[in-house]
Amino acid sequence: MDRRALLAGAGALVLTTPACAAYPPQVPALKSVAPYPLGVAARHLHLADPDWAKLAVANFSQLTAEWEMKMEYMLRDDGSLQFDRADALAAFARKYGMKVHGHTLVWYAQDGLTFQRLKGDPDAFLNAYVGYIQKVMGRYRGIVRGWDVVNEPVWNDGRGLRPCLWREVLGDDYIGLAFEAARQADPAAVLFLNDYNLELTPAKRTTFLRLCETLLKNGAPLQGIGTQMHISADLAPGAVTTAIRDIASLGLQVHVSELDISLRGDPLANVVEPRLNQLKVFEAVIAAYNDVPAVQRYGLTVWSLRDKDSWLNSARERKGPIPDEPALFDDRGRPKAMAERFVAMMR
């Protein structure tokens, strides 16, 4: 074995068998080394878990509500709004000096009875649409730093906009209308269009970026792009690099908004060592994000604190009997190799 092969082998050994090295790795607070806000997804139930709270506060400087700022939770069938849990998340963030990112106002996947009932009356529908955005954003004015105004507007294959109730009643301009309403509701908030698979499917990215350009041309107050980055360990690292570079080329704020790297791809093609691949993909994300001009780096958010908190391990999403390990911290809150690498890459 030549020297290079031996060294590569040694590196792989350290990465794949952490029990041989100091484990868990000694890792400083992630937020203390990050030159941009570091966010974590949070649900109301996490606030009652002291281990979750301690780890989140120590390592992250920003929160995104994982569910309780979405329409499905906030808008009741009688049209009234339910702010209790979002308020609790905001209070938690305030108490611990964390920023809040708002997620999300308009999403094809959630509409609700209130809006379905107004389908036949476009004027009333538009009033309710603008009203919803203004009430929700108004409540968190000065608290929420930026909002995902519209979430996941583009079809997976990039063929165009997705069908949804908003588009059906308001037309393609449902997006521009939402941004206008958002601007009025909170002139200081950074307004995002957020989507996924922008790295996996270049055709989707092209359509998404064209949509951003069209919105800007038409005067919409779009200020940021959220790239969710629910990715898998079998993704080619270069796909991440190209995507982040392309996204940043528009000059808007860039938020890596929901990062998790699944070990359970569909299937895990060509992956010899999933954890090692996961680390390589993670490195590519961090390297590419670090290359984005500092003024455009809104922050990087992970979509669960520990592996066990991940939506990928929920009854609905879970693939097979073996739990996924997409997070930077393990079930016991110990930093994993990705956390260690994050710190090393900031030096």
Are 144 and 87 contacting, i.e. CB atoms less than 8 angstroms apart? no
Task: Kindly state the tokens that stand for 168.
Answer: 């059906």
Comparing C-alpha atoms, which of 257, 171, 158, 255 is closest to residue 210? 158
CB of 114 to ligand XIL, least distance (A): 20
DSSP state of 1: -
SS3 54: helix
Residue 340 annotated to the active site? no
x/- string (CB under 6 A) for ligand XIL, residues 228-247? x-x-----------------
In the complex with ligand XIL, the residue whose CB is nearer, 77 or 317, is: 317
Using CB under 6 A as the binding rule, the residues of this chain from 174 to 203 that contact ligand XIL are 196
CB of 270 to ligand XIL, least distance (A): 25
Q: State the residue number with the nearest CB to ligand XIL.
A: 311
Rounded to 5 degrees, φ, ψ at 259 are -65, 125
In the complex with ligand XIL, the residue whose CB is nearer, 231 or 239, is: 231
x/- string (CB under 6 A) for ligand XIL, residues 150-169? -x------------------
The verdict on whether omega for the bond into residue 201 sits within 30 degrees of 0, i.e. cis, is: no
In the complex with ligand XIL, the residue whose CB is nearer, 234 or 309, is: 309
Task: Kindly state the tokens that stand for 46.
Answer: 């996490």
Binding-site member from 27, 36, 65, 66 for ligand XIL (CB under 6 A) = 66
CB of 314 to ligand XIL, least distance (A): 6
In the complex with ligand XIL, the residue whose CB is nearer, 27 or 89, is: 89
Rounded to 5 degrees, φ, ψ at 42 are -135, 135
Are 261 and 326 contacting, i.e. CB atoms less than 8 angstroms apart? yes
Binding-site member from 36, 115, 129, 311 for ligand XIL (CB under 6 A) = 311
Are 135 and 178 contacting, i.e. CB atoms less than 8 angstroms apart? no
* Secondary structure of 116-158 in HEC code, one letter for each residue: HHCCCCHHHHHHHHHHHHHHHHHHCCCCEEEEEEEECCECCCC
> Of the residues 68, 180, 199, 258, which is catalytic?
258
Which residues share a beta bridge with 40?
63, 302
Instruction: Quickly count: other Cβ atoms within 10 Å of residue 25's Cβ.
Output: 17
Binding-site member from 67, 129, 132, 282 for ligand XIL (CB under 6 A) = 67
Instruction: Quickly count: other Cβ atoms within 10 Å of residue 289's Cβ.
Output: 23
Decide if residue 227 touches ligand XIL (CB under 6 A): no
CB of 35 to ligand XIL, least distance (A): 25
In the complex with ligand XIL, the residue whose CB is nearer, 168 or 317, is: 317
CB of 179 to ligand XIL, least distance (A): 18
User: Which positions are annotated as active-site residues?
Assistant: 152, 258
Q: Contact positions toward ligand XIL, by CB under 6 A?
A: 66-67, 151, 196, 228, 230, 258, 311
